[in-house]
Amino acid sequence: MSRIVLPINYHYFNNMRTPKIPILRPSLPPIEEYMKLVEGIWERKQLTNNGTLAKELGAKLKKFLGVKHCILVSSGTLALQLSIKALDLQGEIITSPFSFVATSSAIVWEGLDPVYVDIDPQTFNIDPSLIESTITSKTKAILVPHIYGHPCNVEKIQKIAKKYNLKVIFDAAHAFGVKYQGKSLVNFGDISTLSFHATKIFFTGEGGAIVTSNDKLAARVSKMRDFGIQDCEVVTEIGINAKMSELHAALGLCVLPNVKSNIKKRKIIAAKYDKELKTTSLKKPQIPPKTNQNYLYYPVLFPSQKTLEKTLKNLNDENIFPRRYFFPTLNKLPYLKKKQHCPVAEDIASKVLCLPFSNEINDPTIKKISEIIKWEIS
C-alpha cells in the first residue's frame, strides 16, 4: 500500500476539526428518560439498599439474560471477589494471563495465588489442553474471562473442573448479551460475573452482577454484598458493602432497552472495519461456532510489536486513541509471589490492538483509521 499524501496543513486542520476519538464511548439514553426515574427516587427518598429500581433492574436483567439469579453489585471487580468468597476458596486458582487486571487482582486481594495457564493462539482464551498439568492439591477453582466476549471452551473447562472437583467462575465482564449454543453465555460455570462499567455494552456507570443457578449461593452472595446482615440486627457472616444504588440502577433501566439495537449497530460497524481491512495482514481472534457476539471490541493482531507501535503513534498523532487491550500480560504483575512464563499470551499481547469502536463512529473515521493502519502494514 502506498503512503497517502496528506495536504501540508492537514494535521493542523484535522486536529482543529476532529474531536478526540477514544477507544469506546457509552451510548447514553436521552437525559429526560433518566431524569424521570430520578424524580421517582426523590419522591420515595430511598437512595440505596436494594430499592425499587435496583429490584426492577435485577428482575429485568434476569429475564433479558435468561438466568435463574442475577444479583446486582457495585462493580465487576466486587462481583469477582464476592464469588471467590462465597465459594469458600483458598489456595490456588487457575486463570488466564490475558485479561483486564481485575481478573487477577480479585484473586490476590482475596488471599489466593493465581496460577497462569497460557492462551490458545487462535482464540486468545485459556488453552484448556494446558490446564490439567498445572492442577495441584492446592488448586480450588478455574477463574477465566471470555475475552472480548468470545466464549472460552466452556465444555472442556467444565469437564476438567468436574474431574478434579474444582469450581468454575467465568469473568463475563465482556460477555453481556452474548449467546452461545442458543443460550446466554453467563449460564455456564458455577458463577458468571458481569461488569456494568461505563465502557461495557450494558452499563450503569459503575456496577456489576453475579449470575448463578445455585439458590444457596445466590442467597449467600446477596447477604454478603450487604455486610453479611441477615435481618436488621443479625449478622451471620463476614460481608462487605457492594450494593447498587438507585441512581446507578436508574441509569441501567434506561440503557437496557437499547442494548439489542446497539449490538446490531456495532455488528454493522464491525463489518465496515472488516471490509476496509480485509486486504491487510491483520489477524483477528477466532470465535467458536454457534456464537452470537456482542461486538464490544474490535481487536486486531499486528504482524509485529514494531508495526503496532508505529501505527499507534500515527493514530495518536491524528487524535485517535485505540487501546492495547490487554497489555502487558497479567503474569507480569509486580505484586505476584512468583513469576510465571506464558509465551503465547506475551506474544499476542505485544501485538494486539483494539480499534476505536462505538456505535457513533462514522464511515469517514473508519476509513481514516483503516488508511492509517495501511501505511504501516499491507
Ligand X SMILES: *Cc1c(COP(=O)(O)O)cnc(C)c1O
Total binding residues for ligand X by CB under 6 A? Answer: 14
**Cα–Cα dist 339/328, whole Å:** 14
Q: How far is the CB of 74 from ligand X (least distance, A)?
A: 8
- 343-351 and 305-317 are packed helices; what angle lies between their axes, rounded to 10 degrees? 30
Distances (CA, A) of 127 to 120, 145, 330: 5, 12, 16
Q: How far is the CB of 83 from ligand X (least distance, A)?
A: 12
Listed residue (315, 303, 376) closest to 1, CA to CA? 376
Nearer to ligand X, 118 or 206 (CB): 206
Find the binder of ligand X among 21, 102, 224, 300 (CB under 6 A): 102
Find the binder of ligand X among 51, 57, 67, 100 (CB under 6 A): 100
Binding mask 122-151 for ligand X (x = CB under 6 A): -----------------------x------
Listed residue (353, 344, 299, 349) closest to 323, CA to CA? 353
Nearer to ligand X, 99 or 184 (CB): 99
Q: Which residue is nearest to ligand X (CB)?
A: 76
The amino acid sitting at 130 is L
Nearer to ligand X, 115 or 147 (CB): 147
**Residue 197 DSSP class:** B
**Cα–Cα dist 53/247, whole Å:** 8
**Cα–Cα dist 71/231, whole Å:** 18
The verdict on 116 binding ligand X (CB under 6 A) reads: no
The verdict on 208 binding ligand X (CB under 6 A) reads: yes
Nearer to ligand X, 76 or 177 (CB): 76
The verdict on 72 binding ligand X (CB under 6 A) reads: no
Span 149-178, contacts to ligand X by CB under 6 A: 171, 173-174
The verdict on 75 binding ligand X (CB under 6 A) reads: yes
Rg (the chain; Cα; Å): 22
The verdict on 197 binding ligand X (CB under 6 A) reads: yes
- With vertex at residue 169, the alpha carbon angle to CA 231 and CA 77, rounded to the nearest 5 degrees, is 65
3-class DSSP state of 80? helix
The verdict on 83 binding ligand X (CB under 6 A) reads: no
291-292, strands of its sheet edge to edge: 183-184, 179-180, 291-292
Binding mask 247-286 for ligand X (x = CB under 6 A): ----------------------------------------
Binding mask 22-61 for ligand X (x = CB under 6 A): ----------------------------------------
**Cα–Cα dist 260/86, whole Å:** 32
Query: In the chain, what's the furthest Cα-to-Cα distance?
Result: 73
Give residues in contact with ligand X (CB under 6 A).
75-77, 99-100, 102-103, 145, 171, 173-174, 195, 197, 208
